[in-house]
Amino acid sequence: MADNGSALAALLPTKVRRKTRIGLVAGGLGTYWPQFPGLLPQLQESARYVSDRFAEMDAEVIDAGFISDAQEGASAGEMLRVADCDLIVMFLTTYLTSSMVLPIAQRSKTPVLVIDLQPTEKMDHANFDTGQWLAYCGQCPVPEVANVFRRAGIPFRSVSGYLRQDAAWERIGQWVRAAHIRAALRHARHGLMGHIYPGMLDVSTDLTLLPATFGSHVEVVEFDDLRQRVEQVTDAEVADRMSLAREIFTLDDTVVQEDFAWGAKVSVGLDRLVDDFELDSLAYYHRGLDGELHERLGAGMILGSSLLTARGVPTTGEYELRTTVAQLATQVIGAGGSFTEIQSLNFEDDVVEMGHDGPAHLSVSSRDPLLRGLGVYHGKRGWGVSVEFDVQHGPVTLLGLGQDQDGSLAFVASEGTVVPGPLLAIGNTTSRVDFGRDPGLWVDQWSQTGIGHHWSLSLGHRAADYRAAADLLGIDFRLV
């Protein structure tokens, strides 16, 4: 298949979710309009440009129009409240009063981004009159709005720049990407199947915590829900799934055809389970004994879980609910996100070797992913096929969901670079990550953040996006 993202997308279409909703409102002080007749048309033209730019982003834009006084601000706030937006953007085109915008933030109960984008880099001082200057006065009310938001207990965020400034639009885009994460976590249905991995106290998660923090839902399903669906899979469906797998994976000589067919059958059943329960993620674990059916189901999930993860439905072992949340966050902004832990340290090359056995995110692979047959899964019962590859070389960002003594959640991130070098060939996804420091020091710093055993490894340097997302979600952010 080669490591072509578009080819993978064609074979495994990404799950369709509710689109992120961006509320947009522009405004200025109506007192100016009769005083300077040319001002309002100029500002409305700027507002149309901003609206068009947002329409080009991967989001549904709810445009509340242009407001000129406090009454119109209140009406816009009511419209955006009903729209249930994930982020509201207020475009201050010139001076306006804080009384015009406060009701929008208060009534919508949605995170707000204030932007002020003057028409060009600078004024033409020799030729401008007062009306033309006022088109450049959008920064004037920013401190006022920030003060009032602070006094009202509303978090304040802003981007100042000029209308066609690439740097300003990159900063705005960062907040839109953060809104994608907020939207995904607000509306996600996270599946939990089986029971907690015995002894791993760090992965234990209060099922009320995610609904209380993000607004998402946790659906508890059983291995019998999967068993019943797997039993209904036909031989033809198994053959089709094996054919799909051969297009995506390179099959190692160690793959036993019987195990491959079983993984394909479980994969079809998994797809039905996810569709029937409308899941956005799934974490699972079953201990099993002596090859009984539930043990075989759990051992046969790696192929199907990897295919689901590639489709945008993170599916991971070890009952790791919080890490599937982190993977969903990295997935929805196009950064992939593979289930990861520390494997070893290389003090000669100053790299941290990390990865995981079992399910993997195929889109982060540097080459055709390999299916390897394993006669035993280390630390777990069962046997079957597993996924192996090296992560794409270049910048990466880890994102995990840490938890503190009081139960509160935090995004924990670290940026590094995947570099080439020797890797184990044991049916794991692996990577060598250079964090620009002694690897032992990095482990100490990373472990002090409240991170758990696992996290999501995503492509690109994305810490700024994850920081913004934490801000919109109202949780702490920690960077190593």
- Name the percent of the chain lying above pLDDT 70: 96
pLDDT for 380:
55
How far apart CA 338 and CA 335 sit, in angstroms, is 10
Residues 132-185 have pLDDT tens digits of 999 999 999 999 999 999 999 999 999 999 999 999 999 999 999 999 999 999
- Judge whether 339 and 327 are in contact, CB under 8 Å: yes
DSSP, collapsed to helix, strand or coil, labels residue 198 as coil
Q: Is the pLDDT of residue 379 over 60?
A: no
pLDDT in tens, 80-108: 999 999 999 999 999 999 999 999 999 98
What number is the average pLDDT over the span 247-273? 92
Q: What is the pLDDT of residues 8-29, one digit of tens each?
A: 777 888 888 899 999 999 999 9
Burial class, 65, CB count within 10 angstroms (exposed 0-12 / middle 13-18 / buried 19+): middle
- What predicted TM-score, i.e. pTM, was given to this entire model? 0.93
Residue 252 has pLDDT above 50, yes or no: yes
Using DSSP's 3-state secondary structure scheme, residue 356 falls into strand
Kindly tell me if the per-residue pLDDT of 4 is higher than 90.
no
DSSP string of 44-91, one letter each residue: HHHHHHHHHHHHTSSSEEEEEEEE-SHHHHHHHHHHHHHHT-SEEEEE
Longest dimension (CA), the chain: 87
- The pLDDT of residue 271 is above 60: yes
Tell whether the model's pLDDT for residue 399 goes beyond 50: yes
CA dist 329 to 87, 178, 322, 387, Å?
16, 9, 11, 22
Half-sphere exposure in the Cβ direction for 463 (13 Å, CA): 13
No. of H helices and E strands in the chain?
17, 19
Partner residues linked to 429 by β-bridges = 356, 389
